[in-house]
Amino acid sequence: THESAFSLKQDAKLLQNHVIKIGLIHLQQIIRDRGLDLSTIDHFLPHLSSMFFRDQTLKTFLEAGLMIPEEKWFMNLTTIGNVGAASALLMMEELYHSGKLRAGERLLVMVPESARFSYTYMLMTVV
């Protein structure tokens, strides 16, 4: 009998050392190429896999001069958990039902995909 095991493991140190910086680079590109003004953002919804990345993201953005005040951040990681691809949608749904949204407000949603170190940013306007 021939037995084998195939196991993949994500190197969390690579993630910790690089994924936030890559997200910063992507956001800087959007600001430069699309003229995004972060001061016009009313709600920032970052999908983060762990609260560890919250403080690191805030620190990295601040050091780069990108200010999104903490009071504009909306996350539900501590109540819903990391539910992968559904996380961003669940944040938007919870914010929608919170009664905090007003017509004309702008939401910036950040969704990293850690296996490939890629990011998606979505800019939406409340109607």
Domains identified in the chain and CATH numbers = 12-125 (3.40.47.10)
Average pLDDT over residues 70-85: 92
**With helix as H, strand as E and coil as C, how does 37-96 read?**
CHHHCCEEEECCCCCHHHHHHHHHHHHCCCCCCHHHECCCHHHHCCCCCHHHHHHHHHHH
Res 45: pLDDT = 97
Measured distance CA(104)–CA(124) in Å, rounded: 9
Res 11: pLDDT = 67
pLDDT exceeds 70 at position 68: yes
Report residue 20's pLDDT band, with 50, 70 and 90 as the boundaries: confident
Strands 43-46 and 106-113: parallel
Residue 72 or residue 18, greater confidence: 72
Angle, CA of 57, 61 and 64, to the nearest 5°: 145
CA dihedral (87, 89, 92, 94) positive or negative: negative
pLDDT digits (tens, 9 = 90+) for 48-67: 888 888 998 999 999 999 99
Res 3: pLDDT = 74
Rounded to two decimals, the pTM is 0.84
CA-atom Rg of the chain in angstroms: 16
pLDDT digits (tens, 9 = 90+) for 29-48: 999 999 999 999 999 999 98
